[in-house]
Amino acid sequence: MIAAARLSAALVMACCLLLSLTLGLSRAQAHAPLLTYTARTPTQTSLYLMDLQRVISHRLMITKSVLFEARWSPDGLRLVFTSDHAGYSQLYLFDATSMNTTALTAGEPLAKSATWSPDGQQLAFVSFSAAQDLDIFMLNLDSGTVTNLTHSAYDDFSPMWSPDGQYITFVSSREGNREVYVMTSEGQAVRNLSGSISEDFLPVWSPDSTQIAFVSDRGRRRNYEIYTVDVAGQQLQNITRSISEDWDPVWSPDGRSMAFVGALYGNYQIYLLALDSGSAVNLTRSTSNDFSPVWSLDGQQIAFVSNRDGWRQIYLMDADGKRVRPLLTGAAEYYDPLWQPVP
């Protein structure tokens, strides 16, 4: 089965070098806004942490392998990520305090898409079952115990823990098409939330754990739009109602707004939807492609990725779309911006 083992960074990542730089991670400095991002060149991938007050980036690691799906723990002290260093996707854990990297999975052909439990003690992730179907597994970080939560004969993927820790949503093809399901955090009481013959995917929890936003092409125009549904599978609503292709919904920290990506005639833009009124505003208004929006912890800013300068770069703007400015420039592809929770 899947094993958890603590290894040195040199053994785990081979060509990966963890740099013991002054990271600004002390208690006194940790309240400065910190943004993690990934940089990729043709020969290497690096993971950085940027202090937005001082506009200084520190490289956490560098590897010749592919590194993606980085996710901070709720306390902001550990970072789980996926890498293909072993020749296939596996999960690793970086400790920002000790600067050590741990191999969380080994010996399996695939492990990816890790999501943290709100208490930071467990990870839900995707791996192959004994029958070679994709299932949702849970790893207890203290004991190393791994449990198959779904045991499905079909593919289950894209797990996401509810903020209150009671439920896990996921996407499954068990009824012939991609649909959104919910189960308890122990893998019980599995229910189909989206209930359609259309393609439903990318479920995202509201901050109060009462609603799930997801993307679906069930509308009359068969374009992708964003819907919400409650935990009981009731109160289904189309909240974007547009002619564009809408996806990548991201709730604001207070749950009153939602940032999302809308594509009209192939041009990807970031929109802000006021959930009480249903009105949407184009925040980026560029002729380039803007995507991957992420809210700052206080809800005052949104980081995103854009190719408006020829490369995929990371930009920052106020939550109302004002003061758009590049955070990074250079001959590299930057992606996966991620705000670090305050320890």
The Cα–Cα gap between 315 and 326 comes to 4
For 56-106, what is each residue's pLDDT tens digit? 898 888 888 889 999 999 999 999 999 988 788 999 999 988 888 889 997
Has residue 301 been placed in a domain?
yes
What's the CATH code of the domain at 260?
2.120.10.30
For 9-64, what is each residue's pLDDT tens digit? 433 343 343 333 334 444 334 456 899 999 999 899 999 999 998 878 988 888 88
- Under 8 Å between Cβ of 230 and 236: no
The Cα–Cα gap between 240 and 228 comes to 10
- Under 8 Å between Cβ of 268 and 291: yes
The predicted model scores a pTM of 0.90
Has residue 153 been placed in a domain?
no
Has residue 325 been placed in a domain?
yes
If you search the block for the tokens 């003690």, which residue do you land on?
Answer: 121
Question: Range of 303's domain?
Answer: 239-343
Has residue 264 been placed in a domain?
yes
Q: Is 110 helix (H, G, I), strand (E, B) or coil?
A: coil
Tally of structural domains, the chain? 1
The C-alpha torsion from 196 through 200 and 206 to 210, rounded to 10°, is 20
101 membership: H or E segment, kind and range: strand 101-103
Q: In what order do the strands lie in the sheet with 146-148?
A: 111-116, 122-128, 134-140, 146-148
Burial class (CB in 10 A: 0-12, 13-18, 19+), 319: middle
Has residue 209 been placed in a domain?
no
The Cα–Cα gap between 58 and 157 comes to 33
